[in-house]
Amino acid sequence: MIVITGATGHVGHALAAQLAAEGHAVRGLTRDPARATLPAGVEAAPADFSGPAGLKAAFAGADALFLNLAGVGDATEEVVTAAVRAGVTRVVMLSSGAVTDDEADDRGVIATWHVAAERTVRAAGVEWTMLRPNMFAVNTLAYAGQIRAGDEVRAPHGDAAQAPVHERDIAAVAVRALLDDGHHGRAHRLTGPEAVTTAEQVLTIGAALGRPLRFTELSGREAAALYAHMPPQVVEEMLDALGASVGTPPEITTTVRDVTGVPARTFAQWAADHVADFR
């Protein structure tokens, strides 16, 4: 049994679908199992981390865990401890490309949070693999409201180049790390296959929709409103990193292809997969 935290999220849902398609027993933890829409064959279970009973039930019969911090909040240590007690021997953690293993660089809010969780997993005495994606392609869903309302997308740093990674590719690497040997003790850095600027991302989404979209530059302060649902410190750090990437080629890895045998999907492929989300 493989347990997935954050099973209704973009990566968790894609991972559950891929594992179930291969015939593996999967339990997806979610806050509201009755309302959760999970792939066929995936067991929905409550993400109850409030005490021993809920944690014990979550990991009954499990031998592997996909740990998405978004699905556990501040309960990482309790979740990992309960998983190990239940017999889990392999943990694949969705970390962040902000983590570099250089203490001088790993001081930001995003890196610090993920570094602490990684240390918890490493100390648990299990086989572990860290997945460290850079920009998620799904981050561009922040433009969906503007695109539904018109043909203009206002966002910061149009010349900032990144290599957005498709959530299905993150999930595909997670599948191999959960099922195959040879990944223990490794930190896989994940990116898409090509550099795409912010403005180009908007044009690419427009092409997928069959509509000519135009990009308009916003100041950082104006752009913060796009991410009002996120903690201000995280937004500030994210926008600073985006600004710093202007004129700097992004990191591009071959990890997706190396691990799965299939090249990483392009941003154009991601946009085509998500047309319905922008309509």
Q: Which residues of the chain have pLDDT under 70?
A: 104-106, 220
- pLDDT for 88 equals 96
CA 135 to chain centre: 9
- The one-letter amino acid code at 279 reads R
pLDDT of residue 220: 66
Tell me what pLDDT residue 49 has. 80
* Those residues with Cβ within 8 angstroms of residue 228's Cβ, 6 or more apart along the chain or in another chain: none
Hey, what CATH topology would domain 2-133 get? Rossmann fold (3.40.50)
pLDDT of residue 227: 74
pLDDT reported for residue 35: 84
Q: Give the distance from CA 226 to its chain's centroid.
A: 19
* 208 vs 83: CA distance, rounded Å: 42
CATH of domain 137-164+193-278: 3.40.50.720
Question: What's the pLDDT at 223?
Answer: 76
CA angle (259, 75, 3) in 5-degree steps: 45
**pLDDT at residue 188 in the model:** 97
What token pair was written down for 273? 């997969």
In this predicted structure, what is the pLDDT of residue 93?
A: 97
Instruction: Give ranges for CATH 3.40.50.720 in the chain.
Output: 2-133, 137-164+193-278
The pLDDT value recorded for residue 108 is: 75
Residues 156, 183 contacting (CB under 8 angstroms):
no
pLDDT at 104: 62
pLDDT given for residue 174 in this prediction: 98
